[in-house]
Structure 1
Amino acid sequence: MVLHAGDPAEVGGYALEARLGSGGMGVVYLARSASGRRLAVKVVHSQYADDPEFRGRFRQEVAAARRVSGAFTAPVVDADADAARPWMGALYIPAPTLGERVADRGPLPPDDLRELAVGLAEALRDIHHAGVVHRDLKPANVLMADDGPRVIDFGISRAAGSESLTQTGRIMGTPPFMSPEQLSRPREAGPASDTFSFGAVLAFAATGRGPFDSDSPYETAIRVVQGEPDLADVPAGLRPLVERCLAKAPEDRPTPDQLLAWLRTELPAPAPPPEPGPRQPARARRRRRAALAAGGALLAGLLTAAGVPLLADGDEPAAPPRADLPAGWHAWRRTLAQPGSVSNSLASCATDRAALYCVGGDHRAVRLDPATGKVLWSRPSDAREAVSPARSSGDAIAGTTAGLLVAHSERAARGDDPVPYLSAYDTRTGATRWSVPAEHGVLTSAGVFAVDRGWKTYRLIGLADGRTRWTAPLETAAEECGIWGGADRLHLVCTPRGRYPATRVAEVNPADGRATWSRTYREPLEPVGVLDGTLILTAAVTEGADEGSYTALYTVHPTTRALRRIPLAAAAPRPPALVGDRLYVPYGNGRLRAVSPRTGNTLWDAITSVENVSLPAAGRDGTLYATSGSGRVIALDPGTGAERWVSRRPQADDEQSSNGDPLPAPLLIGDALYASAVSEVVFSLDVTHRV
């Protein structure tokens, strides 16, 4: 739709190109940023801008949309609630609404219906985890994108527990898809109200009509509150779930997590297509050693934006580069979860180039063939053991060296908390070489430096036999400690008991464990990594407008021990992570920022098209690769952060793991990328093939 006479040429610095639609709140425009990214910009009608209640609702919409971060919701890029005509810009998704899709092509077929159900359930989980209730989930607010549905328009959503902005006597919502409590007692409408709307939307998608449709909105409202839904044409396999969602009492409806568990059990995803045969190796394929990075768990993905160079099936570059892949390699996908498991966790993986090793969820350790994904050996965990994909002080896998895989696990103890262990497995056979209780470990060629349970001592564990070479006491009783560094220089970073926000930093002699120096700083410091022998830390702001964010880096002078503060050019919502010689800040909405660890300056700031983007890993040509929890892969320009391509299909149905930590980088062996997705899916693809 072209622009109308009187429409502005730009809003907030974004050039307007066309009208996308107009509604009760305002007009939605297609806009383009200076870098070429396309946005959907909503501008409120001028007659409402001075209405305090309306402006309050718009502020609420912006705040709610910013708080929501999920694979199946639309991320806000920019907004100005204080403008003369308030506006909000989100990534533009070139897709029809569910209502348009059904009107054009009729009810959804079974596979599409299941994909919609899973996507909407995940969207509600993300929305509710952010403390938000949508309150207007309906076919017009669901976009049918190629890679899954997207929930949009938080115009009448509210933060859970906040003061309602709804005036007495005013109905806020769309009656055919509203819950009974929204119509009879709107101030009590909570997350379960969205579940009712979820059921009504599914019924519409399956039949082409709402379950409470009638000739007038008033009759529809009465049926919602008092009548029974018409589900005669809803497929039998889906009907029990829809019936539970449409229960009149909110407490009788399932939660989004329960919806997902039901869908996985009762409506499992169709089997994936057969894996392709082995790729024929190219003649005289050039081999080169790749830098090996021990990666950890991977977490969640975002919507696809227009302007990102998606490659359709069959697309290939005109002159593809010669791939550097393991002999006999072909693209593969492996699910490590045990049969019947509903685990939504991620596998954490490492590689020694000869094989891929993963832990997490249902396994203490698994060895996979990097060429085919074949399981060479596995060590399942027992019912009393929890293998965490990530720990606050490090990854589940410490790494591989000298033919050993060193990994964390947590084993249940009678009448006590789980006991954390470090275990070493023979990489060839999977046999356990040794296992010792430990909170945190750093693997080096000299052995494993570990902090003992209870944060009272630390020690060096011999790799070959697991025996303690030396033990040293911590100087100060600590609530938590971590060891950082390598075999030549170690740093202990501890939180002294009862002295928050103080941090105790010590440099330790690896030969005997003695502290060569130690000092307490009056900052809540968190280690980021070690660069050129210098420990880099950060600290969360403890009060004020930036409370909880990270606004600076810190380094310790090697001789004076003075703490140097390096301001970050932009505040970060989570600690920066060191990858190579750069810091990266991944955001929940798919944004990724590269930062100089020496100056704190932003090198580039990009909004990617996957949600909860992982930390990046560099390929052999310098291209950065990152993934999402669903297993989508993106390629980024290392100099600007611009997306070069993004894979179209996710590797897993689900998107978000139960672990909210940032996602570590994928692994690369030449041009073969290895990563994990939720539900313990591990996969490999050729980054030159650009699937």
Structure 2
Amino acid sequence: MSLRVGDPAEIGGYVLEARLGSGGMGTVFLARTGSGRPVAIKLIHQQFAADEEFRTRFRQEVAAARRVSGAFTAAVVDAAPDAEQPWMATSYIEGDTLSQHIAAKGPLGGAELRRLAIGLAEALRDIHRVGVVHRDLKPSNVVLSPEGPRVIDFGISRAADQQTLTMTGRIIGTPPFMSPEQLQAPRGVGPRSDVFSLGTLLVYSVTGHGPFDADSPYMTAYQVVHEEPALDAVPQPLRALVELCLDKEPERRPSADELLVLLRDLPSDLGTAGGDGLGASRTRDVTTRHDEVTSRTAGAILPAEAPPSPAAPRTADAHADAPDAARAPVVPDVPGDHADPGDTTLNGRRPRRRWRSVLAAVVAVSAVGGGVAVVTAAGSGESGEAKNSGVAAPAPPDGFAPWRRTVLGGRADIPDELRCVARGEAVFCGGGGVVASRLDVKDGSRVWTVKSRGVPVQGLYLVGATQDTVLGYRFAPEDAPQEPRREVVALDAKTGHELWSVPTDTQSQAVTGRSQEALVAGTAVVSVDATGSHLEARDAHSGDVTWKTPFPAGTRCAPVLAGTRLLAMCARDGEIDALDVRHPTLYTVNRASGRLGSPLAVKGPVVPVGATGGRLALLRVHKEGPASTGYDGVALADPATRKVTYAPLARTYDGTPGMAGGTVYVSGQTGRVTAIDPESGRAKWSRQTAVEGASGPAAGERALYFSSATGRVVALSPSTGEILWTTDPRVDGLTGEQGSGPRVTVAGGALVVAADKNTLFAFDARKPPKSG
């Protein structure tokens, strides 16, 4: 496609000719060297340039790509990972990606399929020989060039002798093509994870779909970890090889070298989807050949018997939260995985270990779009049904009727989730390309919308609202570098007219672990100034500065609220630059003068989650090397007494934290919600729900509400965790973002829910939508 208005004319001295494509992290251009040689230049989006964690990841991508440049990959020509806007140039490979080819021409077969399989195995062999694991082998990362397949995009690869870099709060990888170990323990992923991904690619190539496809990414992840692949449409001789690649145990898969030997023995007439190819005798030949190869190269023989057919999963163990349980949400055993304790084989295979995974969907989750959710209470073993009978709540405004609306922002290519606040019968929402929008709670009718043309920052939504003013974020377009990168914008609540705007610096994520560059404290707005060196307060409506306070020397700070008490959370420059804040300090901030109180040191790393009794509650982050793997403790900081109390958690809880009614909640990616007493660290209750990747809580009169990006909502009893009702999904959406703020807004008896693709809908909490 041709260049667009605002695209650069050249990058690093390379003249650009066309756009090849654009994704979430960057844009790829076709360019020419001085001698006329075509190259592909990947230019990272501007909003990631200041993200040091992302820069580290991009440097890793460049290093990995340089390390593996060869006949089956795109060679690195040039790169500038430390440029103001990082970029990398590779040799241009002409041809469609595998996903484009399948979409346009359908599945592969015969000699074409055999060439693809061998070419990919050769690519993996060369990649693994230099000690690199790709970790994102998928159809869009395979280019079908005239010379054969080429593997591209080493954006999440790593050298085997390096620590894995995990982007905070983001799922790294593509579930349908990820291995079980990558979903469960990404830091331990090795070369045979890529072999598993190759197996899924081969199934996709011959059938047009993956072997573990499901209705949601988390059900897909569950299938990858627990279920056997769907291979009925794969030709027999290839099926035998794919089964070996898709073994759940990494050590039982062939290496890339071993796989090459087996692939070269395959006939060229492999057949296509649904074709039988050669018969079962050929399948046995391939398996026998694999036994010979692995016996010669690794001294181990893999049995040829097929794994047992999976049965319907059981509910969770009654002792899922016992102290000796693994430090991650327990995923129940799959029937058929059990054997007599004295046996060392199960149907000819070693018994598979009990998989426990943050990302695997718990078996109690109902299928997307189907039925009433059946859940299990942790620690009790009893099942409870979501009866959708409503909750005790005040009546919505007169004339209320359930509604659904889409609020479009300034750019259609960046739809985002919104976040909302309610004021009387008005609800104000913002996020992504929407600075703010006012809707009527009764019918969802839009009163006004103010848009932003820039690329938003993940996790930044609406600042808040007072009685007469709404405050949101505006982001500068990529083609307007002279404009402030981001601003806090004040809008008149009645008309949407802009009252004032001010640039704000970005550092809250580095200091507090949460994206909140500004906040509303009473009738004031408190933010970090454009220089990144002061906190400043302004009257929310007029924009007049009431005070400006410099950060303590050698630190950077972000505003935090503990109930009505305003605090500054600060960290040392060196720790922020190293992305490793372990010694944060809290200061009370006088709301009238901005004067800082005495420092209160906190043992970190910690993330503030809410307040109880004037004390700030913080969850301690559990780290394994540079990666954050959840929360293992809770702290209560009392600025009045200048004391901090700490309590360990019985296990590490991974997920999205929140607080309501003096209780801390962590909602895991698989749908389990755990209520934690911040005084003792004790889990009050833990409940498995059908809402994967939920954020919350939003507190009603007698219920807590959690919701995911799909719009699925669950209402829980605050005292017991009993499920009061659950709704079905309302939109297609991913649920991978952790640390996200509550998506449900309580407006009297009405619930306003924000979902993916700028979707909002509302219903009566007493009469939730029926499931099924």
- Mapping of 1:445-594 within 5 angstroms? 445-485=522-562, 489-499=565-575, 500-521=581-602, 523-542=604-623, 548-558=629-639, 561-574=642-655, 576-594=657-675
State the one-letter code of the partner of 2:551. L
- Mapping of 1:197-236 within 5 angstroms? 210=273, 212-216=275-279
Which of 688, 698, 703 aligns to 1:617? It is 698
1:394-452: CA deviation from partner (whole Å, max 9, x where unpaired):
xx222211311111233257558962321111111111111111242221224112222
Give the equivalent residue in structure 2 for 1:629: 709
1:475-511: CA deviation from partner (whole Å, max 9, x where unpaired):
1233452332465x32111111114422121112111
Q: 1:401 to 1:627 in 2, by over 3 A?
A: same
Once the two structures are TM-superposed, the CA of residue 352 in structure 1 deviates from its matched residue by 0.8
Which of 406, 409, 419 aligns to 2:474? It is 409
Q: 1:219 to 1:449 in 2, by over 3 A?
A: same
Conserved? CA contact 2:389–2:724, under 8 Å: no
Please state if 1:370 is matched with 2:370: no
Once the two structures are TM-superposed, the CA of residue 523 in structure 1 deviates from its matched residue by 3.1
Which of 398, 408, 433 aligns to 2:499? It is 433
Partner Cα distance (2:667, 2:390) in 1: 33
State the one-letter code of the partner of 2:673. L
State the one-letter code of the partner of 2:364. A
Higher mean C-alpha deviation, range 504-513 or range 573-582: 573-582
Q: 1:518 to 1:532 in 2, by over 3 A?
A: same
Once the two structures are TM-superposed, the CA of residue 328 in structure 1 deviates from its matched residue by 1.9
Which of 652, 655, 670 aligns to 2:734? It is 655
Q: 1:678 to 1:319 in 2, by over 3 A?
A: closer
Partner Cα distance (1:508, 1:323) in 2: 37
Give the equivalent residue in structure 1 for 2:412: 341
Partner Cα distance (1:187, 1:634) in 2: 45
Higher mean C-alpha deviation, range 489-498 or range 360-369: 360-369
State the one-letter code of the partner of 2:504. A
Partner Cα distance (2:406, 2:594) in 1: 42
SS at match of 2:526: strand
Once the two structures are TM-superposed, the CA of residue 609 in structure 1 deviates from its matched residue by 0.9
Give the equivalent residue in structure 1 for 2:429: 358
Partner Cα distance (1:690, 1:301) in 2: 28
Once the two structures are TM-superposed, the CA of residue 458 in structure 1 deviates from its matched residue by 0.9
Partner Cα distance (1:524, 1:365) in 2: 33
Give the equivalent residue in structure 1 for 2:490: 424
Q: 1:444 to 1:646 in 2, by over 3 A?
A: same
Conserved? CA contact 2:669–2:735, under 8 Å: no
Once the two structures are TM-superposed, the CA of residue 629 in structure 1 deviates from its matched residue by 1.1
Conserved? CA contact 2:665–2:674, under 8 Å: yes
Partner Cα distance (1:510, 1:682) in 2: 35
Partner Cα distance (1:399, 1:189) in 2: 59
Partner Cα distance (1:451, 1:146) in 2: 39
Partner Cα distance (2:619, 2:391) in 1: 42
State the one-letter code of the partner of 2:654. P
SS at match of 2:476: strand
Once the two structures are TM-superposed, the CA of residue 578 in structure 1 deviates from its matched residue by 1.8
1:104-133: CA deviation from partner (whole Å, max 9, x where unpaired):
xxxxxxxxxxxxxxxx98755898887566
| Structure 2, unaligned runs of 5 or more | 1-134, 137-172, 187-192, 204-208, 230-237, 248-252, 260-270, 286-358, 374-385, 506-516, 576-580
State the one-letter code of the partner of 2:527. A
**Root-mean-square deviation over aligned CA pairs:** 4.6
1:170-212: CA deviation from partner (whole Å, max 9, x where unpaired):
955349999xxxxx9963899xxxxxxxxxxxxx9xxxx9255
Give the equivalent residue in structure 2 for 1:390: 459
SS at match of 2:686: strand
Once the two structures are TM-superposed, the CA of residue 543 in structure 1 deviates from its matched residue by 5.4
SS at match of 1:554: strand
Which of 328, 336, 357 aligns to 2:399? It is 328
Conserved? CA contact 2:466–2:523, under 8 Å: no
Give the equivalent residue in structure 2 for 1:243: none
Conserved? CA contact 2:240–2:283, under 8 Å: no
Name the TM-score, length of structure 2 as normaliser.
0.51
Q: 1:220 to 1:372 in 2, by over 3 A?
A: farther
Once the two structures are TM-superposed, the CA of residue 365 in structure 1 deviates from its matched residue by 1.5
Partner Cα distance (1:682, 1:511) in 2: 37
State the one-letter code of the partner of 1:476. A
| Structure 1, unaligned runs of 5 or more | 1-66, 69-119, 159-168, 179-183, 191-203, 223-299
